[in-house]
Amino acid sequence: MIAKEITKVHNFGPGPGILPAEVLQQAAEACINFDNLNLSVLEISHRSKNFEKVMEESKALVKELLGLKEGYQVLFLGGGASMQFAMVPCNLLRTDGKAGYVNTGVWAGKALKESKIVGNTVVVASSEDKKFSYIPKGYAIPTDLDYLHITSNNTIYGTQIKQFPKTSVPLVCDMSSDIFSRKVNGNDFALIYAGAQKNMGPAGATMVAVREDLLGKTGRKNLSMLDYQVHIKGESMYNTPPVFPIYVSMLTLRWLKKNGGIEWIEKINEQKAAAMYHEIDRNSMFTGTTVVEDRSNMNVTFIMHKPELEPEFDKLWKEAGISGLRGHRDVGGYRASLYNALPLESVNALTEVMQAFEKKFA
């Protein structure tokens, strides 16, 4: 039987997000026959030399794309970024120390909540007063912190840190929704973590890049599964790792490097975001939900001036083959997620629908 050709929709889903077509093709083939083993990547041993090569290449690509110097360890773990909300304080917050958090949204708030369970934790800055519609700036950073935790991009509220704080305090960053989307100096951070399912791979794997010299100094004994040092010693294989998500992450990072790396994709992401925000600002039917200077290049959030017309707009974009545009249930409205693999053509398709909507209902 000949398989039907599938027409891909314009996928603006916030996560799991869109992946490059060639990565999906390679991953699909590996599900049948991985590395000419006549075995599926879903059934090979994580201790096999074939998968060890995958793990080694994945870590090397992370280091290369983030520009990490010696002294950093890269891990691929399970549990999602939510597990890192607990692992970060368990590994970096001393029993007699203090952690600082910048609260810029739901996920930052959840990270803050976990840290408070582990030890002394303070809110250094917050944008909760205006429903997380901006990024706090110019705040004082206490010098006695064990670390400062920030969230680089806020998927729900559509804000993004444009300039990272300069501090002598170890800087920890949740980059789950904009990792590898723009140039950053990885060495400015003590620890970076990111769930794979936005810009890197499918749900199930989480990348952690951590300065090894900061570990083992908390004064407490960690549970093994929460201990970075245990996972470093086990080379991300203390327990069975999420083999398939790591493999797809490797393929995605290969794709990124092959096409020109971070510099290449950053230009495309800026074009996509500029096109979206231009249409939102121009169109009489819509308005953005965040302050202009903090608008995210990854998650564009906007609302309609006449909410009663949302069903009409929904009908138009669905007919145009667009998916995943509704805003988060806590916020409402709309959210266009512009992750790395989303082509500019998809953004153009959406802006054309917005223009057609305006002509019909303005």
Task: Give the residue numbers annotated as catalytic, written as ranges.
Answer: 107, 174, 198
Tell me which amino acid residue 212 is.
E
Tell me which amino acid residue 280 is.
I
Residues in the chain: 362
Residue among 138, 152, 143 nearest 98 (CA): 143
Measured at the alpha carbon of residue 312, what is the angle toward residues 306 and 318, in degrees to the nearest 5? 130
Tell me which amino acid residue 250 is.
M
CA atoms of 214 and 248, how far apart (whole Å): 30
Token representation of residue 210: 């951590």
Q: Which residues pair with 210 in a beta bridge?
A: 73, 191
Q: With helix as H, strand as E and coil as C, how does 10-30 read?
A: EECCCCCCCCCHHHHHHHHHH
Q: Which helix (H) or strand (E) holds 106?
A: helix 106-118
| Contact predicate 160/80, CB 8 Å | no
Q: Which helix (H) or strand (E) holds 192?
A: strand 191-195
Calculated CA dihedral for residues 152, 153, 157, 159, nearest 10 degrees? 80
Backbone φ, ψ for residue 128 (5° rounding) = -65, -25
Token representation of residue 283: 């169109």
- Residue 222: how many CB atoms within 10 A of its CB? 16
Token representation of residue 260: 């020109």
Say if strands 153-154 and 286-288 run parallel, antiparallel, or are unpaired. unpaired
